[in-house]
């Protein structure tokens, strides 16, 4: 958010979220984000991504409102690459917890599932682990059901155009720094996993129909 320049960014996890929050902080404050100035909290901890509230729009009248979207299947795969890698220890710790172990094992939870296993059991992992749920929640959770309320929607492939537009609006060059890069893991998808991914992301493809078309099963790739 930049009140100075009347620009409102609506973030979506796993869609250049950290990079854009960092850029918006620099736009508003004229300096880079520094964890020391926020008691050691990270950027995401200091400015968490919240579920969309239509009431916000009343307070943002006259602001240029924008968001960035991404192919829904690729977003889930990105969440897998990042969260399974970063959170496998948390999952393993949960499996070591006597109060949770039996329930997790009965649900089919493993600490390092393959991409196909993760896709097939996505709802199970979402149910038991909040970080996974947050990073795979549907786009409407963060953007609402009516994208016409935004002044601009950019595909993640259009980040350079967004950078140029932001630079023009504030009258100086905006820079994006890439954040939260993830190691590419097993990218194989079984037919069952493809079906599960398409079923889960169908509402997102409907919402983002002006930007991404749902692929046929034979065209799905990680």
Residue 2 lies in a domain: no
Task: Kindly indicate the confidence band of residue 65, based on its pLDDT and cuts at 50, 70 and 90.
Answer: very high
Q: What is the mean pLDDT of the chain?
A: 89
Q: What's the domain count of the chain? A: 1
Kindly tell me if the per-residue pLDDT of 82 is higher than 90. Answer: no
Average pLDDT value for residue range 131-155: 95
* Count of C-beta atoms within a 10 Å radius of residue 104: 19
Residue 107: CATH number of its domain: 3.40.50
pLDDT at 222: 59
Domain-embedded: residue 1: no
Q: Which domain holds residue 44?
A: 7-219
Kindly state the average pLDDT of the residues 148-176: 95
Decide if 32 is inside a domain: yes
Give domain status of residue 168, yes or no.
yes
- Please write the tens of the pLDDT for every residue from 109-118: 888 888 999 9
For residues 94 and 100, the answer to whether their CB atoms sit within 8 Å is: yes
Model pTM score: 0.88
Q: Does residue 185 have a pLDDT over 60?
A: no
Task: Return the number of other C-beta atoms located less than 10 Å from residue 211's C-beta.
Answer: 17
Please give the backbone phi and psi of residue 154, each rounded to the nearest 5 degrees, phi first. Answer: -110, 140
Helix (H, G, I), strand (E, B) or coil at 159: helix
């Amino acid at each position: 958010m930049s009140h100075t320049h009347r620009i409102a960014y609506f973030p979506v996890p796993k869609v250049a979220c950290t990079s854009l929050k960092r850029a918006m902080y620099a736009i508003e404050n004229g300096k880079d984000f520094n964890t020391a100035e926020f008691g050691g909290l990270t950027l995401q901890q200091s400015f968490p991504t919240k579920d969309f509230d239509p009431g916000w729009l009343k307070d943002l009248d006259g602001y240029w409102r924008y968001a960035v979207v991404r192919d829904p299947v690729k977003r889930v795969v990105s969440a897998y690459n990042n969260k399974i890698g970063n959170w496998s220890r948390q999952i393993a710790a949960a499996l070591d917890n006597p109060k949770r172990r039996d329930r997790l094992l009965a649900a089919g939870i493993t600490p390092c599932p393959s991409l196909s296993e993760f896709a097939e059991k996505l709802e199970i992992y979402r149910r038991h682990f909040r970080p996974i749920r947050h990073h795979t929640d549907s786009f409407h959770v963060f953007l609402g059901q009516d994208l016409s309320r935004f002044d601009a929607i950019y595909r993640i492939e259009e980040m350079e155009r967004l950078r140029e537009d932001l630079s023009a609006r504030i009258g100086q060059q905006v820079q994006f720094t890439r954040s939260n890069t993830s190691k590419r893991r097993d990218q194989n998808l079984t037919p069952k996993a493809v079906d599960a991914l398409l079923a889960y992301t169908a509402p997102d493809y409907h919402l983002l129909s002006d930007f991404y078309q749902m692929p046929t099963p034979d065209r799905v790739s990680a």
